[in-house]
Amino acid sequence: MNTRLEYSQLLGKFTQANTLDTTDTTNGYKTICSLIDVERANRFIVEMNIRYPQLNTSTPHPIPTLQEIKSEIFQFIKRDIQLLEQEMDKRFRRRSKLFN
């Protein structure tokens, strides 16, 4: 199932919304990915909370900007695709050996 991933720089929080729901602009949420798998979105949020601990606590460090988060999600999806390509390549090689 797919969802829309949003981020609020004001709150330093992520939210997932149904793709047909309206964006909660009153709390500063902006869409960072309009269509993403729920499991992938959850992994991204966990990774961002680890990379930017200020998202979970009230540390004096500045909250990441919307542009930083957009760059992070691009890199996250890029890494995800590369891992998938590597796994597919390994499977293809194994199957090729079986049939040759």
What's residue 84's pLDDT? Answer: 94
Evaluate whether 81 touches 36 at the Cβ level (below 8 Å).
no
What pLDDT, on the 0 to 100 scale, is given for residue 26?
A: 82
pLDDT in tens, 2-28: 899 999 998 889 999 887 777 777 888
What pLDDT, on a 0 to 100 scale, did the predictor assign at position 88?
95
Q: Which domain holds residue 37?
A: 2-99
> What is the domain count for the chain?
1
pLDDT of residue 59: 67
pLDDT tens across 32-63, in order? 999 999 999 999 999 999 999 888 877 677 88
CA geometry: angle 45, 65, 40, nearest 5 deg: 20
